Structure 1
Amino acid sequence: MPAPSPLQLTAAFAPIDEAMAAELIGRTHGLAVRSIARLATERDDTFRVRTDRGTVVAKFAHPLDTAATIEGQLMVLAALEREHPGLPVPRIVLARDGARSVAVDDDAGDARLLRVLTHLEGETLGAAPRPLSALRALGALHARLAAAIAAIGDAEPALHGAATPWNLLHLEHYGPHVDGIAQPELRDEAARVIDRVGRSVLPRAAALPAPLAHNDLHGDNVLVQPEPFAVTGVLDFGDMTRTPRVADLAVAASYARGRVSATSDPWAAARAYVAGYEAEQPLTDEEHALLPELVLLRLAQRGILNSAIAAANPAAAAYASRNLSAIARDLRELGASIPSTIGASE
């Protein structure tokens, strides 16, 4: 399935306010709302809700998100709960009629799909610098989660995930928008990566198997307990798609440097993350060789798409653009010393 253009990713919608959200949650799920607070997101309306039955997270999907896409995410969460109860992912809170999601109308008359999930405790991984050992632990958990999602995706019926411009291999859907980046340094660095990787790396990556993958395991989607360190939650399955496992790993590894204190080796954090992953799921020599350039490509992709979101949607601009300066720095400094490989064959 081809991915949509960033225009769909950036399509505006009428936000649901807290009062309306509380009323809808009470009506569809029979929960008495005691307090409700909006959570910052790029593309939907998400709320932390304290109810008579504990704290939950309510997500009202973007009007353009299809029922099939949302149901695919919920099928994976249900299968993870059933088959891998030890993995720290949200559980589905069923509606009063037993449904996993419910169609509701917002103030603009647009149909929105509401799903309610359990609330997981912890602080975000990105809330404070972490030791390299924490990244190794997260990498190991990522490998276990990746294997579980891949197996679920290949069961009957097979799942294909979202048609999303966040799929790293779909360069044709985000690369042409590089000129839309406002910051000159970030624009130039991203353009250089796209030109180089598009010619030399993506054809090799596209030849690899493409299982279903989380595809968005970054610091704001991971909850942790800091002392002793433990991962308490992996969130946001909205960008699940079929992509090579090395691309899914590169997505996560691209955020690693921003989660640790400064080190003399700009690639140290990515190496620690990959080492943890490989303790559970060893990579092939080809995957080791592809990783560095795919990490840089993910940084370029983030610069392009977050710039597009910020330009098109003023309500999401602050959230979408919050990391653009760090992305430019990482592209410059990681790009100055690209290793030939990351992993066991180094």
Structure 2
Amino acid sequence: MTAPSPPHLTAPFAAVPVERAAALLARTHALAVDAVERLATERDDTFRVRSGDRMLVAKLAHPLDDPRVVADQLAVLEALARIRPDLPVPRVLPAADGALSATIQTVDGPRLLRVLTHLDGETLGSAPRSLGDLRALGALHARLARAIAAIGDAADPPLQGAPTEWNLLALERYGPLVPAIGDPALRSAIAAVIERAADAVLAPARALPAVLAHNDLHGDNVLVRPGPPGTPLEVTGVLDFGDMTRTARVADLAVAASYARGRVGEAGPPWAAATAYVAGYESVEPLDPAEHALLPDLVLLRLAQRGILNSAIAAANPRAAEYASRNLSAIARDLRELGASTPHRIGGTP
């Protein structure tokens, strides 16, 4: 029996060649394009662009992307540039007609093209980091989360982001995809996490206030510039607002904390990295007791969600299979090690 797949995430499309991307940018954004390089992604066309002395990033949305969702992402970036220019997020380069995106006709139908500034730095996940680095990143996450939530609520109507399978609390959207997991041991471990979440985690999490959230703050979406030994890590960029959605703030935090173990290597207690990240977050935005109690299970649920959706994408779209499945062995390790020593709570005082 063939496993189901989420069309929004797995539907194939014809990749736009770099030559055409350069011509499109010249037409829509009046750019003199000197060089274009394709960047690896799961479900869109993304290019690094050099135009004179400027480095830019051009993103051509998946044909199934809702224009309203893309508009929400651009509205948040525009608002952050105005009210929180200290936060290291990309700036939007409007099209020649002043619009924040341009509609491009392709063989797969209309697709939205937007251009952002390119941010310098190495990815957070490119090297092991210290617990202090994770605390600093957690604090930045809290400041960014507070700003995004305020922007989302201040809009009229409030911004909703994407109704996405990557919403951690939307188990009904990704739970049925468990059969897509090829490794029986990983499938069994994930099924156990899903069962626990359905029984004891999701109802109280869904009862919490929902806010607009980045929802994807992992090591490949954070750029950093290391300083001399003993100095704090400088965060130079937070990227990819494509999974932005309305969810509980503790779910957004759990998404990011679920990657912490992989940022520090395999040494030390399994939950030490996530605990450091949460401590940094709480130095800016304290959680309440209900959120503390939900965090460990939500971290495990995010690992399960990644295993499910990455497997489904890899199975349904051979072109994206290598990229989508690159972290499955690390997910299996983290589920095994974190699941064997799950704390009753993370953060706060018991």
Cα distance in 1 for partners of 2:260, 2:183 equals: 23
The one of 271, 278, 300 equivalent to 2:275 is: 271
Listed one character per residue, the Cα deviations across residues 160-209 of structure 1 (whole Å, up to 9, x for unaligned) are: 11010100011011111112100112111100000011110110101100
Q: Report the equivalent of 1:9.
A: 9
Q: Report the equivalent of 1:173.
A: 173
Q: Which sits farther off after the overlay, 38-47 or 221-230?
A: 221-230
State the SS of the aligned residue for 1:59: strand
Q: Report the equivalent of 1:47.
A: 47
Two-structure CA RMSD over aligned residues (Å): 0.9
* Structure 1 residue 96 corresponds to structure 2 residue 96: yes
Q: Which sits farther off after the overlay, 52-61 or 213-222?
A: 52-61
Could you tell me how far 1:7 is from its partner in structure 2? 2.4
Could you tell me how far 1:109 is from its partner in structure 2? 4.9
Alignment of 1:80-95 (within 5 A): 80-95=80-95
Q: Report the equivalent of 1:306.
A: 310
Q: Report the equivalent of 1:321.
A: 325
Identity of aligned residues (%): 67
Cα distance in 1 for partners of 2:70, 2:200 equals: 35
Could you tell me how far 1:262 is from its partner in structure 2? 2.4
Q: Report the equivalent of 1:152.
A: 151
Alignment of 1:99-248 (within 5 A): 99-106=99-106, 108-157=107-156, 158-227=158-227, 228=231, 229-248=233-252
Q: Report the equivalent of 2:343.
A: 339
Q: Which sits farther off after the overlay, 209-218 or 222-231?
A: 222-231
Could you tell me how far 1:261 is from its partner in structure 2? 2.7
Please tell me the residue identity of whatever aligns with 1:98. G
Moved over 3 A (4+): none
State the SS of the aligned residue for 2:89: coil
Contact 1:32 1:51 in 2 (8 A): yes
Contact 1:140 1:277 in 2 (8 A): yes
Q: Which sits farther off after the overlay, 234-243 or 109-118?
A: 109-118
Cα distance in 1 for partners of 2:83, 2:268 equals: 42
TM-score, normalised with respect to structure 1: 0.97
Could you tell me how far 1:156 is from its partner in structure 2? 2.7
TM-score, normalised with respect to structure 2: 0.96
Q: Report the equivalent of 1:66.
A: 66
Question: Which consecutive unaligned segments of at least 5 residues does structure 2 have?
Answer: none
Q: Report the equivalent of 1:261.
A: 265
Listed one character per residue, the Cα deviations across residues 239-295 of structure 1 (whole Å, up to 9, x for unaligned) are: 010000000000000000000132331000000000000000000011000000000
Q: Which sits farther off after the overlay, 136-145 or 256-265?
A: 256-265
Cα distance in 2 for partners of 1:112, 1:202 equals: 35
Listed one character per residue, the Cα deviations across residues 33-53 of structure 1 (whole Å, up to 9, x for unaligned) are: 111111111110000001125
Question: Which consecutive unaligned segments of at least 5 residues does structure 1 have?
Answer: none
Count matched residues: 341
State the SS of the aligned residue for 1:38: strand
State the SS of the aligned residue for 2:187: helix
Contact 1:72 1:159 in 2 (8 A): yes
Contact 1:46 1:58 in 2 (8 A): yes
